[in-house]
Amino acid sequence: MSPEEILCVNNLKQHFHINKDLTIKAVDGVTFQVKKGEVFGLVGETGSGKSTVAQTIMGIYPATSGEVYFKGRRISEKEIYRQNKKDLHLNMQIIFQDSAAALNPRMTVEQIITEPLKVNRIMRNKNELRDKLESLLFEVGLDDTYATKRPAEISGGQRQRVAIARCLSTSPDLIIADEPVASLDVSIQAQIINLFQRLQRYYGFSFLLIAHDLSIIKFISDKVAVMLQGRLMELAPTQELFNNPLHPYTRSLLSAVPVPDPVFERNKKILDYDVKDVKTQGEMVEVSFGHYVLQ
Amino acid sequence: MAEPVLQLNNLSVSFDTSSGEVEAVRDISLSLNKGEILAVVGESGCGKTVMSQSVLKLLPKTSRIKQGRIIVDGEDITDYTEKQMRRLRGSVLSMVFQDPMTTLNPTIPIGKQITESISKHTRVSREQARQRALEMLNLVGIENPEQMFALQPHFFSGGMRQRCVLAIALASNPKVLFADEATTALDVTVQAKIIDLLLDIRDKSGISIVFISHDFGTVARIADRVAVMYAGKIVEIGTAEEVYYDPRHPYVWGLMSALPSLTKEGEDLTSISGMPPVMLNPPLGDAFAVRNEFALAIDYEEMPPMFQISPTHSAATWLLDERAPKITSPISLQRRTEV
């Protein structure tokens, strides 16, 4: 693992044993690396296991097998995770789709945003905390009148901004965002995506973005991985993937992306794929520089 | 010109809440011809769902139709009672909702749920109803309908469930189908298939569809005409080509330029600043004025009327008045139409 890789996921598997006859292989052998300051997009349909990947990286579930390395340390190992717990809590942050469920309804925005600073004992001084809060609110495009409000009093887009401010408070090196804009309106979606892009350029954190909307991934990511049934089908730099998709599933996915152009849409032929025909087993093979396809 | 199957004349719907009256739908007029697909696009809370539910009278008791008429197939149904409505629902008007799992009864086999809706509306024998249900399952593209007939909804995937809901909605040959965000919860590949299915059914049976969505992308494939709603009003309506290639309302400009697929690489996404208004105390003039960078003084005082641009295309913005300064759509949108 080279030093510039901040996150390295190696043959990660996450199997859920429902009962003795049924095991769901939510993630079944996923390998990828995220470099420092890179925006990595993970796409796939519902149930393809992309959220489980995020949650396993964060240590919410212990992995069935495989390794997760964060800054060279094997954090999928319980012992190593425990030793580095404090550092990991500060440097890895996650943003969820449903901000209403992610934020404590009984806390004010101020408490929500400053909580990580207090819990991790980064700041204790009240004035310092107050300054930090104001600058964070300003960063995400809110003003300090929001500090005393509770999550239920603000709109979905504003709540997502609060969640972003909270996750920025510890200046993390890696942010994982699981469908952060899926439940927002188009015009608000654009505001949040712009915000992510601006913050990412300014702070330079690595960003693992999980989404099902390919147009957003295309807009913001440097690299894209396509997931199906718990496995990666294709991994390539964004330009390369969109211009030259090789896996039949990726092609089908790209052809199905709705384009806001009636004449084009009506004449468009959607490439169909059959789950039975698509090869989901095999090895990832590098076909051109940085472009891997399952073969 | 054929008689429209659905006509709304100056429809306003409001809700009585503890903090006052909320006007969710304000003065909407539209008509829908046989075999036509009208897409209604707007952000959450703009009244698109209330508009469709008021036609089917599915709204709670706190709501009332303040003014306007609803005419279905030449008949004024504005004052229909619940009993009369029950006859219309399913047979003339039908609706498909966003979440198929809440629409379907989880304990009853799919087949029974379809035959139920058939035998409620038409006098048929059990065997005939079964045949018709199998036919419907075939039509919506479910393989091995005989086997699927006895299965409960949880055996099906999201896309398959939505197909079953469509089968129920279409079983008694309705004239108008309301599809309220019917494809929103589905993956893009499944979504595309459902849309092609709707188009196919329209071609076969001549049904009219009101397709409600917030996504300009999906709408492009299905719509003949597009209506854009904001704060309970239709701000622009026209054929799909007119609205997509020659939008006139600043709100529609904003929505279109906010789409990532229309933005060039390296540019910021254009977003509409601010939030949609709360309709508890609707502003005096144009509800969009505060978010509109091209707002004129009159926008804050008087609501703009519908300006006709072509026989099929009209928009409600003072920018179209002859006294208004000449403002053209943003460059990013023009660039697209030139290509």
For chain A, what are the domain ranges? 5-294
Of B223, B254, B261, the CB nearest to A215: B261
pLDDT, tens digit, for every residue of B38-65?
999 988 878 888 999 999 999 988 898 9
- Give me the pLDDT at residue A151, please: 92
Q: Given CB atoms, is A218 within the 8 Å cutoff of chain B? A: yes
- Give me the pLDDT at residue A150, please: 93
Alpha helices in B17-151 (DSSP H): 48-56, 82-88, 100-103, 110-121, 126-139, 145-148
- Flag whether pLDDT at A96 surpasses 80: yes
Show residues of chain B in contact with A266, CB under 8 Å: 220-221
Which comes out higher in pLDDT, residue B265 or B70? Answer: B70
- Give me the pLDDT at residue A156, please: 85
* pTM as predicted: 0.82
Q: Do B260 and A263 touch (CB under 8 A)?
A: no
CA distance, residue A49 to nearest chain B CA (Å): 14
CA distance, residue A122 to nearest chain B CA (Å): 34
The token pair that represents B179 in the structure block: 């599809």
- Give me the pLDDT at residue B1, please: 53
- Flag whether pLDDT at B134 surpasses 50: yes
Q: Which residue(s) pair with A44 in the sheet?
A: A227
Contact A186, B269 (CB under 8 A): no
Q: Which residue of B has its CA nearest to A142?
A: B274
Q: Which residue of B has its CA nearest to A216?
A: B260
Q: Given CB atoms, is A243 within the 8 Å cutoff of chain B? A: no
Taking the C-alpha atoms of residue B309 and residue B242, their distance in angstroms, rounded to an integer, is 10
ipTM comes to: 0.73
Taking the C-alpha atoms of residue A251 and residue A236, their distance in angstroms, rounded to an integer, is 13
Which comes out higher in pLDDT, residue B102 or A31? Answer: A31
b/e burial code for range B297-325 (CB count within 10 A of at least 16 → b): ebbeeebbebbeeeeebbbbbbbbeeebe
Q: Do A190 and B188 touch (CB under 8 A)?
A: no
- Give me the pLDDT at residue B277, please: 75
- Flag whether pLDDT at A276 surpasses 80: no
Of A45, A187, A197, the CB nearest to B43: A187
Show residues of chain A in contact with B235, CB under 8 Å: none
Instruction: Write out residues 179-198 of B within 8 Å (CB-CB) of A.
Output: 187-193, 196
- Give me the pLDDT at residue B29, please: 92
Contact B249, B315 (CB under 8 A): yes
Work out the pLDDT band at A167, boundaries 50, 70, 90: very high
- Flag whether pLDDT at B279 surpasses 80: no
- Give me the pLDDT at residue B339, please: 46
Alpha helices in chain A (DSSP H): 50-57, 78-83, 85-91, 99-102, 109-119, 126-139, 156-168, 186-203, 214-220, 238-243, 248-256, 262-267
Among A55-64, A274-283, B229-238, B304-313, the minimum mean pLDDT is found in A274-283
Of A186, A262, A270, the CB nearest to B220: A262
Work out the pLDDT band at A2, boundaries 50, 70, 90: low
Segments of B186-273 assigned E as strands: 208-213, 225-230, 233-239
Q: Tell me the HSE value of B313 on the side-chain side, using a 13 A CA sphere.
A: 14
- Give me the pLDDT at residue A111, please: 94
Q: Which residue(s) pair with B21 in the sheet?
A: B16
Of B193, B216, B221, the CB nearest to A266: B221
Taking the C-alpha atoms of residue B213 and residue B220, their distance in angstroms, rounded to an integer, is 11
Question: Which sequence spans correspond to the domains of chain B?
Answer: 6-223, 230-338
Work out the pLDDT band at A93, boundaries 50, 70, 90: very high
For the structural domain made of B6-223, what CATH number should be given? 3.40.50.300
Q: Given CB atoms, is A254 within the 8 Å cutoff of chain B? A: no
Contact B241, A282 (CB under 8 A): no
For the structural domain made of A5-294, what CATH number should be given? 3.40.50.300
Residue whose token pair is 């809060």: A133
Q: Which residue of A has its CA nearest to B262?
A: A260
Among A129-138, A166-175, A260-269, the minimum mean pLDDT is found in A260-269
Show residues of chain A in contact with B246, CB under 8 Å: none
The average pLDDT across B291-304 equals 85
pLDDT, tens digit, for every residue of A57-92?
998 888 999 999 999 899 988 899 999 988 998 999
